[in-house]
C-alpha cells in the first residue's frame, strides 16, 4: 500500500484538515479492508475507554497525533472517565455533573424532581453497594431567585418559602458561614436508589415500576409512586451519608406482579432485595426468629435485571456519590452473612490497561489487516493508543488516590477509624519504562481532570 494512503495528517502548517478528511473518507469508502481495519480499531478504542482516538478514527478519519491527543483526551476523560460516574448521556437535561472527579450532581433549575443514573450497573447474580453524601441545599433567597416569573407554587410551599426568606433576613448581616446558614425547609430535597434504564428521567426515583427510591423527608420509600412511611426508615439531610445496597443473588424475582417490589420483612434469605443505610446503620425493621436476626429490607422480591444507581433532585438538591472501592461507612451487621456478599459498585467498572498491555492487545486487533496497512500507519496507531492509555491510567490512579483521601478525611471528621484503609501513595505511583514514556504534558493534562476542585 502506498504512503499516500497514510491517514496521519502531514506536519505542514498549510495542511487543510477538512480536505484531508474528505480524501481519507474517499479512500475508506473505496477500500473495504481499510475501512474494516479502522472500524475494528475504533471499536477496540471505545471498549477500552480510548474515546479520543476512537472519535478521531470514526468522525475525522485520521490517526491522531500526540499533540492532538493532548487536547482531545482531557475532554474525553471529562465526558466519560474510566471510573463509575453519573452518566451525562443518561441524565435529565435539567441536571448537570460539574465535577466528574467528585461524582457530584446538581440541578440547573430549581423546580421539579429530575433523575440521573450512573455509568455502571448491578446485574443479576451480584450484590452491590454505594453511598451518597447529602450536600447543603440552596438558601431560600437562591431558590426564589431561580424561580421563573410564571412559576406557580402551592399555598403550603409558598408559605414555607416566605417564612424561610424572612428567617434569612433576620440573620445577622455578614454572618454567612455554612454552619450559620439557616436550613431551608423548602429546598434541597433528594431521592435516591436504583433504576433500570427504562426509568423516567423526568420524574423522581420510585415514580414508576422501573425504579426504587428513598426520600429525605421521613425516610419514606417509593415505588410505582406508592409511598410507604412505616417500613423503619429515617429522614436525612445535609452531612448525612446514605448507603444503597442491592442484592440480585436469588434465582428469580417474584411471580406475582402485585407483590413485586413490596416492602416487608422477608423470611427468604435469598430474595432479591434493596436495603438503605443512614450513616452506617441499616434502616428498616428487624426481628429475631429461631435465633436469627432477619429483616431490614426496603424492597423485596425484585425481578432480575440491570439496575443503575439513581438520584433525583428537587429545588436545588445536591449530592456527591461514592461508588467505592473505599467507603466512609462500610455496610456491616447484616443478617445471614449478607455483608460478605456486597461488593463496591466500582468493581463493575474495568480497571484501565497499562500502556504496554494496551499496545499488545491492539496487535491482536490489527493483525488481520497488517498486510493492508503501511508501517507508518501501524506505528502511528500504536503511538496513539500508547499516549491515550498513559493518560487514562494516570487519570484513573489520581482519581483513586483523591477518592481515598476524601474517605479518610470524612472518617476522621466523624471520628471513625481509618486503620482498614490503605495508605496514600507518595509521589508518582505509575511505573513507566522507556517504552511507556511520553511527554510530561500528557501527565499534567490527565492529572488536571481529577485535580480540579479537590
What are the tens digits of pLDDT across the range 3-54?
Answer: 333 344 444 333 444 444 444 454 455 567 777 888 899 999 999 999 999 9
Q: What is the pLDDT of residues 385-401, one digit of tens each?
A: 999 999 999 999 999 99
3-state SS, residue 287:
strand
The Cα–Cα gap between 243 and 133 comes to 9
407, 411, 417, 419 alpha-carbon torsion, rounded to 10°: 20
- Please tell me whether residues 29 and 121 are part of one structural domain: no
266 in a structural domain: yes
Is 166 domain-assigned? no
Q: Which of 392, 383, 388 is nearest to 435 (CA)?
A: 383
53 domain-assigned: yes
Given this model, what pLDDT does residue 85 score?
94
Domain housing 268 = 86-138+187-348
d(CA 125, CA 295) in angstroms, rounded, equals 21
Domain assignment present for 392: yes
Same domain, 387 and 284: no
Average pLDDT over residues 317-344: 91
* Domain C-terminal end among 324, 348, 372: 348
Q: What is the dihedral of CA 152, 155, 156, 157, to 10 degrees?
A: 20
Give residue 431's pLDDT: 38
**What pLDDT does residue 403 have?**
95
Question: Is residue 200 located within the same domain as residue 119?
Answer: yes
Q: Which contiguous run of DSSP H or E holds residue 320? A: strand 318-322
Q: Do 221 and 97 reside in the same domain of the chain?
A: yes
What does the pLDDT look like over 258-269, one tens digit per residue?
Answer: 445 555 445 456
Cα distances from 1 to residues 27, 28, 60, 273, 277, in angstroms, run 12, 13, 21, 59, 62
The region that residue 383 occupies, defined by phi over 0 for left and psi between -120 and 50 for alpha, beta otherwise, is alpha
387, 442 Cβ separation under 8 angstroms: yes
pLDDT above 70: residue 183: no
Cβ proximity of 199 and 223 under 8 Å: no
- Average pLDDT, stretch 150-155? 66
The predicted pLDDT at position 290 comes to 78
Do 140 and 183 touch, CB atoms closer than 8 A? no
Does the pLDDT of residue 197 top 90, yes or no? yes
Under DSSP, the state recorded for 98 is S
pTM for this structure?
0.80
The answer to the question of residue 343 being in a domain is yes
Provide φ and ψ at 391, rounded to 5°: -70, -35
CATH number of domain containing 327: 2.60.120.920
| Of residues 436 and 101, more confidently modeled | 101
- Residue 428's pLDDT is 43
Position 327 scores a pLDDT of: 97
62 and 100 share one domain: no
Cell, residue 415: 471520628
The domain boundary, picked from 314, 348, 382, lies at 348
Same domain, 29 and 119: no
Compute the average pLDDT of residues 175-184. 50
- Same domain for 236 and 221: yes
In a domain, 163, yes or no: no
382 and 394 in contact (C-beta within 8 Å)? no
pLDDT over threshold 90, residue 161: no
Give me the pLDDT at residue 150, please.
62
pLDDT, one tens digit per residue, over 396-435 is: 999 999 999 999 999 999 999 999 999 988 754 433 333 3
372/44: higher pLDDT? 44
Give domain status of residue 178, yes or no: no
pLDDT at 151: 63
- From 348, 377, 412, give the residue that closes a domain: 348
Cα–Cα dist 34/93, whole Å: 38
- Per the structure, the count of domains in the chain is 2
DSSP line for 100-158: TTTTEEEESSSSS-EEEEESS-EETT-EEEEEEEEEP---HHHHHHHS-TT----HHHH
Kind of pairing between the strands at 273-278 and 86-91: unpaired
Residue 281 lies in a domain: yes
Task: Answer yes or no: do 381 and 301 share one domain.
Answer: no
Asked if residue 282 and residue 428 are part of one domain, the reply reads: no
pLDDT at site 186: 56
pLDDT of 223 > 50? The answer is yes
> Partners of 276 in the beta sheet?
244
Q: Give the separation between CA 74 and CA 440, rounded to whole angstroms.
A: 14
**pLDDT grade, residue 257 (50/70/90)?**
very low
For residues 366 and 297, membership in a common domain is answered with no
Structure confidence by residue, pLDDT tens digits, 99-136: 777 787 776 655 678 899 999 999 999 999 999 999 87
**Same domain? 334 vs 278:** yes
Q: Is the same domain home to 95 and 77?
A: no
Query: For the residues 238-262, what does the mean pLDDT come to?
Result: 71
Pick from 190, 204, 218, 216: which is nearest to 315 by CA? 190
Amino acid at each position: 500500500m502506498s504512503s499516500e494512503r497514510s491517514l496521519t495528517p502531514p506536519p505542514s502548517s498549510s495542511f487543510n484538515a477538512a480536505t484531508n478528511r474528505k480524501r481519507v473518507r474517499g479512500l475508506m469508502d473505496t477500500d473495504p479492508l481499510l475501512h474494516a481495519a479502522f472500524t475494528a480499531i475504533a471499536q477496540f478504542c471505545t471498549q477500552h475507554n480510548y474515546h479520543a482516538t476512537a472519535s478521531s478514527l470514526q468522525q475525522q478519519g485520521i490517526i491522531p497525533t500526540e499533540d492532538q491527543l493532548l487536547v482531545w483526551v482531557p475532554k474525553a476523560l471529562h465526558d466519560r472517565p474510566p471510573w463509575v460516574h453519573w452518566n451525562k448521556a443518561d441524565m435529565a437535561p435539567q441536571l448537570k455533573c460539574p465535577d466528574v472527579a467528585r461524582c457530584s450532581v446538581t440541578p440547573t433549575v430549581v423546580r421539579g424532581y429530575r433523575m440521573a443514573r450512573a455509568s455502571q450497573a448491578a446485574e443479576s447474580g451480584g450484590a452491590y453497594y454505594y453511598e451518597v453524601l447529602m450536600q447543603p441545599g440552596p438558601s431560600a433567597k437562591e431558590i426564589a431567585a431561580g424561580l421563573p416569573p410564571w412559576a406557580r407554587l402551592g399555598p403550603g410551599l409558598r408559605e414555607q418559602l416566605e417564612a424561610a426568606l424572612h428567617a434569612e433576613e433576620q440573620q445577622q448581616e455578614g454572618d454567612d458561614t455554612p454552619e450559620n446558614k439557616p436550613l431551608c425547609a423548602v429546598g434541597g430535597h433528594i431521592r435516591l436508589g436504583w433504576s433500570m434504564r427504562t426509568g423516567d428521567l423526568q420524574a423522581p426515583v420510585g415514580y414508576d415500576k422501573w425504579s426504587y427510591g428513598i426520600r429525605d423527608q421521613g425516610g419514606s420509600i417509593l415505588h410505582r409512586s406508592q409511598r410507604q412511611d412505616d417500613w423503619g426508615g429515617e429522614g436525612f439531610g445535609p452531612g448525612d451519608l446514605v448507603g444503597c445496597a442491592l442484592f440480585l443473588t436469588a434465582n428469580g424475582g417474584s411471580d406475582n406482579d402485585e407483590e413485586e417490589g413490596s416492602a416487608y420483612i422477608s423470611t427468604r434469605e435469598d430474595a432479591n432485595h434493596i436495603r438503605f443505610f443512614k450513616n452506617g446503620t441499616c434502616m428498616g425493621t428487624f426481628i429475631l426468629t429461631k435465633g436469627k436476626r432477619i429483616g431490614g429490607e426496603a424492597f423485596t422480591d425484585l425481578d432480575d435485571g440491570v439496575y443503575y444507581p439513581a438520584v433525583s433532585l428537587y429545588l436545588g438538591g445536591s449530592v456527591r456519590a461514592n461508588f467505592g472501592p473505599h467507603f466512609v461507612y462500610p455496610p456491616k451487621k447484616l443478617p445471614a452473612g449478607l455483608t460478605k456478599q456486597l461488593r463496591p459498585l466500582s468493581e463493575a467498572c474495568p480497571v484501565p490497561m497499562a500502556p504496554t498491555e494496551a499496545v499488545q492487545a491492539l496487535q491482536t486487533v490489527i493483525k488481520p489487516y497488517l498486510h493492508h496497512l503501511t508501517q507508518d500507519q501501524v506505528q502511528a496507531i500504536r503511538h496513539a493508543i500508547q499516549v491515550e492509555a498513559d493518560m487514562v491510567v494516570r487519570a484513573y490512579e489520581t482519581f483513586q488516590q483523591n477518592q481515598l483521601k476524601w474517605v479518610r478525611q470524612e472518617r476522621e471528621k466523624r471520628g471513625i477509624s481509618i486503620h482498614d484503609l490503605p495508605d496514600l501513595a507518595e509521589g508518582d505511583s505509575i511505573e513507566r519504562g522507556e517504552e511507556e514514556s511520553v511527554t510530561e504534558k500528557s501527565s499534567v493534562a490527565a492529572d488536571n481532570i481529577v485535580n480540579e476542585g479537590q
